[in-house]
Amino acid sequence: MKYRHLFFDLDHTLWDFDANAMETLADVYKELDLQAAGVNDFDLFCKHYLHHNAILWDRYHHGYISADDLKWKRMWRTLLEFKNGSEELARKMSGYFLEVLPTKQNLFPYTHEILRHLKEKEYKLHLITNGFEKTQWRKLDNSKLGSYFEEVITSERSNSVKPNKEIFEYALHITGAQVHESIMIGDNLDADIQGAINAGMDSIFVNHIKSDLKGVQPTYVIHHLQELETIFE
């Protein structure tokens, strides 16, 4: 067994953030009556949200903004697209969104099957996530994923964020893993793959959307979680 400790990302790798976010945005749109606030196109609202969310998560990964700024400003920037600059409404949207989002349960195909398979093979499974501690645990509990993982390392717990090598070093320390027997599995070329490279760890790029590698060199590339069975036989 070349690898013993498998470190997974959660959002966009196992837990389908975009599908769950779309359902939650529908709840936000209805509950807070955003149409009355000038947000008159739900599909466009979702498109703008996902755009600004991606930009601000990237800025958070690199330490340019705080977690609080990320949480409410993605909503505020989305509202601005509809000529509404209300910080009060944006913060209400953020609070409601973060309350409802972790209750959603959409996972990528074969998530439970592959995690069960790897546990049966006696691999030690862990999570390294930039998500927020309380939110990530609620996602894990509601989607019944928590029992698969021995350690869940969040940015809040480690006081660092991917792609900084410190969060990976913290994860190795907490789990008692050696870097040569560990591998990172995630969807984000910067946070997960370059982060693993920064820490001297092998990596698997879960390329669900068949994006360009942009010069980053993961150890493996897969397009479906079932392909992990060929790596971890």
Residues noted as catalytic: 9, 11
Number of neighbours of residue 223 by Cβ within 10 angstroms? 12
User: Which residue do the tokens 């509809």 mark?
Assistant: 82
Amino acid at 61: H
Task: Give the DSSP H/E element, type plus range, for residue 206.
Answer: strand 202-206
- Asked if the bond preceding 163 is cis, omega within 30° of 0, the reply is yes
The DSSP letter of residue 15 is: B
Burial class (CB in 10 A: 0-12, 13-18, 19+), 139: buried
For residue 73, the number of C-alpha atoms closer than 13 Å in the C-beta half-sphere is 13
17 close to 49: Cβ distance less than 8 angstroms: no
The residue among 205, 199, 213 whose CA lies nearest residue 231 is 205
Strand order across the 220-222 sheet: 151-154, 124-129, 5-8, 182-186, 202-206, 220-222
The DSSP letter of residue 223 is: S
